[in-house]
Amino acid sequence: MNYYAALDVSLRSVHLCVIDEDGEIQAEGQVDSEAKAIDVFLRKLGLEITSVGLEAGTLTQYLTYGLRDAGYHVVCMEARQVSVALSAMRNKTDKNDARGIAQLLRTGWYSPVYIKSIESHQIRALLSSRKAVLTKCVDLENEIRGLFKVFGIKLPPKLGHGSFDRAVRETIETDPALCHALLPLLDARLVLYHTFRELDNRTRHMAHQDPVCQRLMTAPGVGFVTALTFKAAVDDPTRFKRSRTVAAHFGLTPRRFQSGEMDNPGHISRAGDPNVRCTLYVAANAMMTRSSRWSPLKVWGMRLAKQRGHKRAVVAVARKLAVILHRMWLDDTTYRWGTEGAP
């Protein structure tokens, strides 16, 4: 007989529910949210567990790898679909959620979620750290500009790191009160900026040492951040049957609402990783506005911009760029620039 174990995971604990192939509950319990604790609980039952199912969440990667190492077949379910299914239950408790997930696992009414590799998560961790430090650095700069406005002091809108630091120090050097208030912010910003430069150099070095990223960076507008972000998000290009589905996976294709005679395409779905969507948009915009070299993709985008507007054209180019990058990775090729010139 087949037995199915479901996990309702929280930060500190996990509620478990084990059912048989007829849907009858065989065991329930609560353990710490550690793979070893879950393994001990399941082995004590003496049942041959067919599958272990859990909802996608922050601890999904950690528990999935731990349970797979222990010999279990682990299924990660799409959180949105599980949430809709569990919403039909009258009482919302962790115990009932585990029971509902177990039934979903038994019936197969779920969409499996791909579990990315450790390397992918390591790349994402570096990119997230770089972005977080840069954001804090910009926040401090905006805070200083905001404090200056109170005293009627207006700094130029565009200043490099060194120019901004000099401009602020020259402005406040004759005012002891402002020195006491703003010098700590300047010093903190300086530390953050040096940290950002270090993380930026690590990220750049990682991209230039990676053969996949080297190929992706041959595409117009694609720099080291876009290449690394795309690689970490896709992880395994063979998991997409068609390159076109990559754009839909990252939320760059329109939603569709069809009922009877009504069929209305909407805005892009914005599904998937927002960081990938953002970097692809930035790459597409850079290619169309800053790149001086023409390519078939840029020619197509500029023609579309004249018809539909710049923003829609950039989204369309980002969508096409995602498809091209996936195909380049899958075919182990570089970008083909072609011979087209300006339209």
| pLDDT value for 1 | 87
pLDDT digits (tens, 9 = 90+) for 267-322: 888 888 999 999 999 999 999 999 888 899 999 999 999 999 999 999 999 999 99
| pLDDT value for 287 | 93
Say if residues 243 and 252 touch (Cβ distance below 8 Å).
no
Q: How many CB atoms within 10 Å of residue 312?
A: 13
| pLDDT value for 272 | 85
Q: Measuring CA to CA, which residue among 10, 42, 7 is closest to residue 26?
A: 42
| Cross-strand pairs, 112 | 77
Q: Which two tokens stand for residue 18?
A: 């084990």
95-127 exposure pattern, b = at least 16 Cβ within 10 A, e = fewer? ebbbbbbbbbbbeeebeebebbeeebeebbebb
| pLDDT value for 63 | 96
| pLDDT value for 174 | 85
| pLDDT value for 342 | 57
Q: How is 243-272 classified by DSSP, letter by letter?
A: THHHHHHTT-SEEEEEETTEEEEEEE---S
Task: Please tell me the distance from the alpha carbon of residue 339 to that of residue 160, in angstroms, as a whole number.
Answer: 37
Say if residues 287 and 316 touch (Cβ distance below 8 Å).
no
User: What's the count of helices (H) and strands (E) in the chain, helices before strands?
Assistant: 13, 7
Q: Say how many residues make up the chain.
A: 343
Q: What ranges do the domains of the chain cover?
A: 3-107, 119-209, 213-331
pTM for this prediction = 0.88
Low-confidence ranges of the chain (pLDDT < 70): 256-264, 266, 339-343
| pLDDT value for 190 | 93
Superfamily of domain 3-107: ATPase, nucleotide binding domain (3.30.420.40)
